[in-house]
Amino acid sequence: MATTVQTPLRTIISRLLNHKIDHSYHPHFEDLVVKPFTNILPLLTGFTLLAGVLLLIHISIPQAEPYTSKFLLLSHRQPSTGLYSIGNGDVCFVLFEVLTLVGLREGCMKYLLAPFARAMGVSKERKVVRFSEQGWVLMYYSLIWTKSSHFSDMDQLWIDWPQRDVDGLIKFYILTQLAYWIQQVISVNIEARRKDYWLNVVHHFITITLILLCYVYHHTRVGSLILVMMDAIEILFPFAKCLRYLGFTTLCDVVFCIFFITWIISRHVLYLMTCWSVYSHVPRIIEPSCFMGSANDLHGPLPVPDDWWHLIEPWLHPKGIVCHSDNFRVSILAYLLVLQVLMMIWFGFICKVAIGVLRGSAADDVRSDVESDEEDSESVANGSGWQQSQLQPGRCVDSNGAAQMVDGGKNKIHCKEE
């Protein structure tokens, strides 16, 4: 019988591109967490339809534009400069985008990506779902990355703070990213729970917090820079997974290599350079001080108050007092470093699997971290439908969990229950 030859690189990719679903969690986890989120999905879909009705009202009823435009268009444009400031209307815009993204995700997965996967020969429903999930991420980041910007001079991230008004493209990019990550908090609880579920939850909430802090306290330049560095990986990894699900293994190998190099450069070199800039450049460029007023009528620098109200006021009054202090800088740096720890954990999973396979050792000690491709590479023994384990040659399991030993993975000897 013909057997599939697994190269070391292809074996690595097989391990990495499938996260193992953790079944060892609390037995009532699905009842407490997964099912409630799944049950609200029809409600979210209904709200998405209401968002479509809102768009229709905006187009057909001119008298409603002052109210509907807050949800559909960027608010607080300054006629004299063409730039945009922060305001309460941003909440309406982000809310509308969250509902729109939820609807787009479900629609694209169900009516575009899933049919495409089946047309390309993907037959297993699990693979179709995984392809659809990764295809949505690829579609989103392929579009949003063209709306981003980046900076080469780190000092420019901090000069002329506070930047009260920003370009419309930057504002759209940051608010859309905020809406996307809020949508991801919903999505990660609807999808099958993966081994790195809690890492993803912590990552998503820290990302949302950082976007809000950078936006509300007028550090949009560093916020957009960090998002851009993250976006490159968010394009390459789902692209590699989609290629693998479709069976383009050679092209998947190439994209994975690009992904590996890009991960190191963007998330462990450029990212740490940005963290160093927060630590080293900010004290040199921005002195602890406060400002108040609009961009055209800015008063300051003023001394930093002793109370905590100056930290709350930017959230309530966009033209009110906004302060920069060393405590704020340390808080931002702490959030960034926590994200770096999470990324190092993920990169450790990648390196652990890669080194183990290249050395020819068994990958049993990392099976709890990543899922192998054993479910998708079936090896029939004597026509009985047994699956050969990739981790332990000579051991086969059937769909009911019964284990049997085979001679060299070929001839059946005996079977036992485990």
Of 83-87, 211-215, 249-253, give the lowest mean pLDDT range: 249-253
| Distance from C-alpha of 104 to C-alpha of 271, rounded to nearest angstrom | 31
What mean pLDDT is reported for the chain? Answer: 73
Q: 17-31, 90-104, 307-321, 336-350: which has the highest mean pLDDT?
A: 336-350
**pLDDT at position 367:** 29
Domain boundaries of the chain, sorted by first residue: 9-288+325-358, 378-417
Mean pLDDT, residues 382-408:
38
Q: What is the pTM of this model?
A: 0.67
**pLDDT at position 208:** 94
Asked if residue 162 has a cis previous peptide bond (ω within 30° of 0), the answer is yes
Residue 18's Cβ-side half-sphere holds a number of Cα atoms within 13 Å equal to 19
User: Is the pLDDT confidence value at 341 over 70?
Assistant: yes
CB 74 within 8 A of CB 171: yes
**Residue 104 has which token pair?**
């787009």
Of 40-44, 313-317, 383-387, give the lowest mean pLDDT range: 383-387
Compute how many other C-beta atoms are within 10 angstroms of the C-beta atom of residue 280: 11
Asked if residue 301 has a cis previous peptide bond (ω within 30° of 0), the answer is yes
| Distance from C-alpha of 127 to C-alpha of 135, rounded to nearest angstrom | 12
> Which strand (E) or helix (H) includes residue 404?
strand 402-407
| Distance from C-alpha of 90 to C-alpha of 86, rounded to nearest angstrom | 7
| Distance from C-alpha of 313 to C-alpha of 336, rounded to nearest angstrom | 24
Residues 6+ apart with CB under 8 A from 218: 86, 161, 162, 163, 164, 322
Residue 399 banded pLDDT, cuts 50, 70, 90:
very low
